[in-house]
């Protein structure tokens, strides 16, 4: 089993490499981009932040509200558009994997913007925040939950008929030395074809085979070699201990990991691994080099947002980046200013918020431009504009600060917390070092 899992972790990163609502759903999040000044970060007070919570803390009402909002976006097409609001988000993600720069001084070759380089984190931060805003145009109570990959309970909460639908069914694959495993199209719950979750075949596109992947959401959940869950907290802690942004991003995206001795190991981990955990990856160990293919929707990165778990998955990626930033890595000093491909440097404009400076390459199935939403010429976003997540209007429950000290209640609460903290320290001092975390 270990051999097969190791082979997967070495190879899964290649999956990424290859492969009545108001119009303001696509408006920017009220950041002023009219003056592109160098940002000088200073402490700021942020009030009324929406709080993204762990998926395991959602109530039944929370889960139903999120499902209803997602499906409303899927079933709503704004005037003058060919496809639904949700499908337009798919078109954006697909387009970001196959960009051609139109402006002077840059190559016209196809370039990946959303993955495999420094803009992975800022691009997805902007992307999922806009999706959250679209959800809130449907239901103002909704916020994006995050999937903590170290939480064993999360898997059962997410992949359930009462939330994001279970594993797929109807297809059995045999894996030598492991046995038979089942997956396939999702057949029950809100995200089955029977219940109206029908993918646009033009956007559910495999860029390697240059063919449509059909109209069904497909999952092969926890099929070997991507079967280990939850992810060990110590593995996440080692990623979070990296101080250099470029190395941190590479580890969080999942192209490397760091072992107990601090040695960098290439492969497929964290973000990349979870895509395979949900979608499934099949390896053929008899070939040299080992061949593989993604089995399900989450394993086909360009159209992976068609699986609604994508948004929870990337909310966790963003949460970990936000926690890393709060742990002494805030501001533009912790992001490359230059030396990266266009779109990835600190002050580069990121497509599609670049006033047409880049264009997504057409797929074999058609021109993506006609399927995209309209973006205002002043809707411009650079990595530097999204470094402070609080300016975007949200935080995470793991990053909420203690109450302001201006009230008696707050002072009393703080005092109580200090007493509890002392008691915990006293108790912890009596524990053996075996129980301390790495």
* Residue (of 28, 4, 78) closest to 392 by Cα position: 28
DSSP 8-state secondary structure symbol assigned to residue 232: P
Q: What are phi and psi of 213, to 5 degrees?
A: -105, 10
pLDDT at 207: 85
For residue 205, what is the enclosing H or E element?
strand 205-206
Give the tens place of pLDDT for each residue, 160-182.
999 999 999 999 999 888 999 99
Per-chain mean pLDDT for the chain: 83
Cis peptide before 59 (omega within 30 of 0): no
Q: Which stretches of 29-108 are assigned E, i.e. beta strand? A: 50-52, 99-101
pLDDT of res. 121: 98
What is the per-residue pLDDT for 366?
Answer: 85
Strands (DSSP E) contained in 28-176 are 50-52, 99-101, 171-175
* pLDDT value of position 102: 66
Burial of 323 per CB tally in 10 Å (0-12, 13-18, 19+): middle
Which of the residue ranges 174-178, 293-297, 313-317, 342-346 would you say has the lowest mean pLDDT? 174-178
Task: Write the pLDDT tens digit of every residue in 236-267.
Answer: 999 999 999 999 999 999 999 999 888 999 88
Tell me the Cα Rg of the chain.
Answer: 22
Output the CA torsion sign for 192, 194, 196, 199: positive
Long-range contacts of 231-238 (CB under 8 A, 24+ apart): 231/149, 231/150, 231/270, 231/273, 231/274, 232/150, 233/150, 233/437, 234/437, 234/438, 235/269, 235/270, 236/149, 236/150, 236/270, 236/320, 237/437, 237/438
Is the peptide bond between 320 and the residue preceding it cis, with omega within 30 degrees of 0? no
pLDDT digits (tens, 9 = 90+) for 23-67: 333 433 334 444 443 444 444 556 689 999 999 999 999 999 999
Q: Can you tell me the distance from the alpha carbon of 261 to that of 258, in angstroms, rounded to the nearest whole number?
A: 8
pLDDT of 289 reads: 64
Buried/exposed code over 369-408 (b: 16+ C-beta within 10 A; e: otherwise): eebbbebeeebbbbbbbbbbbebbbbbbeebeeeeeeeee
pLDDT mean over 60-81: 97
| Interval 406-422 mean pLDDT | 37
Position 9 pLDDT exceeds 60: no
Both structure tokens of 150: 């170290």
pLDDT exceeds cutoff 80 at 131 = yes
Q: Cα separations (Å) of 24 from 65, 122, 131, 378, 400?
A: 20, 21, 11, 14, 28
Model confidence at 107, in pLDDT bands (50, 70, 90)? low
* DSSP per-residue codes, 125-148: HHHHHHHHHHHHHH-TT----B--
Pick the closest to residue 15 from 197, 405, 277, 339 (CA basis): 277
Q: Where are the domains positioned within the chain?
A: 2-36+47-401, 406-438
pLDDT higher than threshold 90 for residue 304:
yes
CATH for 2-36+47-401? 1.10.1280.10
Nearest to 40 by CA among 331, 322, 349: 331
Question: 3-class DSSP state for residue 422?
Answer: helix
């Amino acid at each position: 089993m270990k051999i097969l899992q190791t082979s997967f972790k070495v190879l899964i990163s290649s999956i990424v490499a290859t492969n009545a609502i108001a119009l303001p759903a696509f408006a920017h999040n009220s950041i002023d981009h009219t003056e592109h000044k160098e940002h000088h970060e200073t402490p700021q007070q942020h009030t009324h932040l929406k709080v993204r919570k762990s998926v395991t803390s959602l109530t039944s009402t929370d889960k139903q509200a999120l499902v209803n909002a997602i499906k409303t976006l899927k079933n709503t097409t704004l005037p003058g558009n060919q496809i639904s609001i949700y499908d337009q988000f798919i078109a954006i993600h697909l387009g970001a994997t196959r960009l051609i720069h139109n402006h002077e001084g840059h190559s016209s070759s196809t370039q990946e913007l959303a993955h495999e380089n420094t803009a992975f984190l800022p691009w997805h931060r902007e992307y999922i925040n806009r999706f959250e805003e679209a959800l809130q145009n449907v239901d103002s109570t909704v916020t994006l939950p995050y999937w903590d990959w170290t939480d064993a309970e999360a898997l059962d909460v997410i992949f359930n008929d009462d939330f994001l639908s279970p594993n797929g069914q109807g297809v059995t694959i045999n894996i030598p030395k492991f046995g038979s495993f089942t997956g396939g199209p999702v057949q029950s719950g809100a995200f089955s074809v029977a219940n109206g979750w029908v993918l646009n075949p033009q956007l559910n596109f495999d860029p390697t085979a240059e063919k449509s992947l059909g109209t069904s959401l497909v999952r092969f959940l926890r099929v070997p070699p991507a079967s280990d869950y939850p992810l060990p907290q110590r593995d996440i802690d080692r990623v979070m201990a990296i101080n250099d942004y470029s190395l941190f991003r590479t580890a969080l995206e999942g192209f490397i990991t760091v072992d107990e001795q601090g040695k960098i190991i290439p492969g497929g981990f964290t973000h990349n691994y979870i895509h395979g955990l949900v979608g499934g990856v099949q390896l053929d160990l008899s070939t040299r080099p080992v061949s593989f293919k993604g089995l399900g929707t989450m394993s086909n990165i360009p159209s992976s947002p068609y699986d609604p778990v994508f948004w929870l998955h990337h909310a966790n990626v963003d949460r970990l980046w936000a926690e890393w930033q709060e742990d002494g890595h805030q501001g533009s000093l912790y992001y490359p200013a230059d030396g990266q491909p266009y779109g990835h440097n600190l002050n580069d404009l990121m497509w599609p918020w670049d006033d047409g400076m880049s264009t997504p390459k057409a797929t074999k199935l058609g021109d993506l431009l006609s399927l995209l939403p309209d973006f205002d010429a002043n809707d411009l976003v650079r990595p530097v504009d999204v470094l402070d997540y609080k300016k975007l209007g949200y935080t995470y429950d793991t990053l909420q600060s203690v109450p302001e000290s201006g009230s008696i209640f707050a002072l009393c609460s703080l005092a109580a917390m200090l007493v509890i903290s002392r008691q915990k320290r006293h108790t912890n001092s009596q524990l053996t070092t075996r129980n301390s975390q790495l």
